[in-house]
Amino acid sequence: MKNETALNLTFWSGVINYVRAAAQPAEALTPWDFREQIEAKTVLVFRTSIAGITEQLMITSGMNKLVGENNWTIDLEDVDKVLRVVCPKSAEHKIISIFKAKGESCEIM
């Protein structure tokens, strides 16, 4: 007889979430989903129109929600105001839409 539990990815993602919960405070937890592991993460590089910290603060909440707080940076010293993001390639259009919603330009380099 085949063991169905061993093949059930939803079951194992629940087990992983339980183990992670035991090792971390509740505030630090984000649910693990096996579907997120299918697409590998890469570094996307964008040219932006962010002029300074004020404009950067406008897009901060959207970027943190999409890719995580420590997965993106904007080099304000660079002439192109380069945005580097560690995320799946499929997030490219969502990143551009966050910038456009705040009236800023963002294009892939």
pLDDT digits (tens, 9 = 90+) for 45-88: 999 999 999 999 999 999 999 999 999 999 999 999 999 999 98
Domain count, the chain: 2
Say if residue 53 is in the same domain as residue 93. yes
Q: In the prediction, which pLDDT does 1 show? A: 47
Q: In the prediction, which pLDDT does 90 show? A: 87
Quickly state the pLDDT bin for 24 (edges 50, 70, 90).
low
Say if residue 17 is in the same domain as residue 46. no
Residue range(s) defining the domain that contains residue 28 = 5-35
pTM here is 0.64
Q: In the prediction, which pLDDT does 46 show? A: 96
DSSP 31-94: ---GGGGTSPEEEEEEEE---SHHHHHHHHHHHHHHH-TTSEEE-TTSTT--EEEEEEGGGHHH
Say if residue 72 is in the same domain as residue 94. yes
Give the highest mean pLDDT range of 20-24, 28-32, 72-76: 72-76
Say if residue 51 is in the same domain as residue 28. no
What is the tens place of the pLDDT at every residue in 88-106?
A: 888 999 999 999 999 999 9
Instruction: Look at strands 72-74 and 83-88 and give their pairing.
Output: antiparallel
Residue 20 confidence (pLDDT) above 80? no
